Every structure is written in C-alpha cells, then in structure tokens.
Structure 1
Amino acid sequence: MNALTPDETILGLLAAQGQHGYQLLETFQDPARLGKVWKLSTSQLYAVLKRLERQAWISGVEQWSESAPPRIEYSLTEAGWRVLDEWLSTVAPSASIRCVRVEFLSRLYIAQLLKLPTAPIIARQRAVCQAEYARLQSAQGNNPQSMGYLAAEMVITQLGAVLTWIDRCELVLQSTQT
C-alpha cells in the first residue's frame, strides 16, 4: 500500500487558485474544509511543497508586499495538471477504510472545488468497495471461533458501513449540485 500523502490534494487546491503556504495550511486546518480529513503541520506542508516543486508539479513565485514579508505563491505546472487529472479519474481507488476516509473525501472536496462532477468518483469508489466486500465475504471461511474469521468479519462490517456512507455522500452531494 502506498503511503497516504496530501500531494494530489494540494495540487487540487492550487488548481483552483494559486496560493501561498499559509493559505493552504488554513484549508487543512479548517474543520469545514479539510481539517477533519488531514492532520498536517506547517513543517509537513512546506516539506510537501518543496517536494512538489522538485518534481516540477508546481512552481513558486515570490510575492512582495509592503505590509508583510515576501511569500511564495504556488501554482500548478502542466505536469501537475496531468498528475491531478490522473488522481481525480483513478479507476480503481483503494478500498482500505483509511484511504476511503482520506483520499475519497479529498477527491470529493477537490472535485467540488473545481466544479467537476462527483458522481464518477463516487461510482468508482463504490465499485471497489463492493468488490472487496464480496471478496472478503466469500473468503471469510466458516469457523466463527477463528481469529481470521473474526478479523474478516470486522473488515466486512466496516466496508458495509462505508458502502452505506458512500450512498449518503451521493445523496448529500446530489442535493448540493442541483
């Protein structure tokens, strides 16, 4: 499993508008935006921005102000747009509960921010979660006293709840997009 990073989420925020680090940090700290999805410190954010700039996915331009110290405003490069587009259109996102909570919610947030349809993102996430749910059910076994059975049952139960929640996300987002 790949480590969860805020890279693509940051690309999405910068796709909406060029921003400096402090503006991005506010988004990650605001509970109404991404504050309940990501836990990101100032140093972590700036380390990610440096990495994204090294990868040539973003570029920074120093902005001067008489009332504040100079700040670097970041924007997406052409390569960054490609990475963002690939991430938003990921065909098979992870069915891991943690990835659903972080990546799926981040994709939905960025799609809404960029005024892109959320239905395809929801449909793809639902499909991988349904497939994993069915796979786990068929592989669970039939010995309810075994630890493997109990572990599988826990994940199956979690995925069942996630599938119900994905349906709820779809309803909520449909009502806000009409």
Structure 2
Amino acid sequence: MSTPHVLLGLLATGSKHGYELKRAHDERLPRARPLAFGQVYATLGRLHRDGLVATAGHDRDGGPERTAFALTGDGRAALDRWLSTIEPPMPYVTSTLFAKVVVALLVADVDRARSYLIEQRRAHTARLRELTAVKVDPSASLDDLLAADFAVAHLDADLRWLHTTLDRVADWHREVHS
C-alpha cells in the first residue's frame, strides 16, 4: 500500500489534520493494517516538504494545537498519476506461508510440513467464516464489503494452494518411500 497516496486521496475530500486522516484511513480501509499516528505525521511531513500538501490552518478545539493540511495542485497531479497507473501483478512470491512450507521441506521434515499445512488450512477456513459473516451483515458498509471480498478471494486462493501442496507433498512422500 502506498501510504502517501492514500493520505493524498483522503485529503482530496477536504483539509484534515493528522488525527482525522488516521481515523479516515482506518474507516475507509477497514481490513487494512491501521496506521500509526507517527506514520501519519511523518508521511505528512514528507508530503509537505515535497509540496504535495500545504498547511490549511491550525485548530485547538479544547486540546493541543492541530495543523490541518490540504492537497496542493501538485498533490492532486501526483494522486491522479497514481490512480491511473496500473498495478503490475506480483512478480515474486513473497509469502511467509510459502516460505515456511519450503523451509520445512528443505529440512526434510515432511510430517512437520504436512502438519503445518493442515493447521494453516484450519486457520484460513476460520478466517473465511469470519469474513463471510461480514458479507451477509446488513449493517456492513461498502468499504467493509469490498475489503471482505478482497480478503475472501485471497484466502480462497491460499486454500486452493494449501490443498494442492498437501497433495503434492503426499505424492512426493509416496514416491520417495516406495
């Protein structure tokens, strides 16, 4: 995820201070990793330095002073470029799940790899049930539904891979021990 671009997108709806940006991020991207306040403010500092956002005022509102930021013309152009750039499919397999299975097989522990695959399949299935509940929840927001659809599709792909890998490991084990 490109945090700077997401913050630019959130600012496209109007000026906000860091706390409002963090809250808007966590609401609009409900299944994404929540942003840390430090990450929001550090990113805003870089966006301001690069001329993509500008100070839009200060607010106290009964607490510490807060600086609001607004999108600049250059910020809007950067956001538009980002939104019109097609994301290339992932060129590398970067998954802890994949790495654990390969390493377990590398150390010649087929039983450990199979046990891991079976337990991981259980965890994926449990998460799939949780997300399916979100999809049928009448109070779920569009953001919740989109996030659940995205996660379900990825979990489904992982589950297909887990099933295929369990079959391959079993076939390989039979060949080696026949």
TM-score computed with the length of structure 2 as normaliser: 0.47
Please identify the structure whose Cα radius of gyration is greater: 2
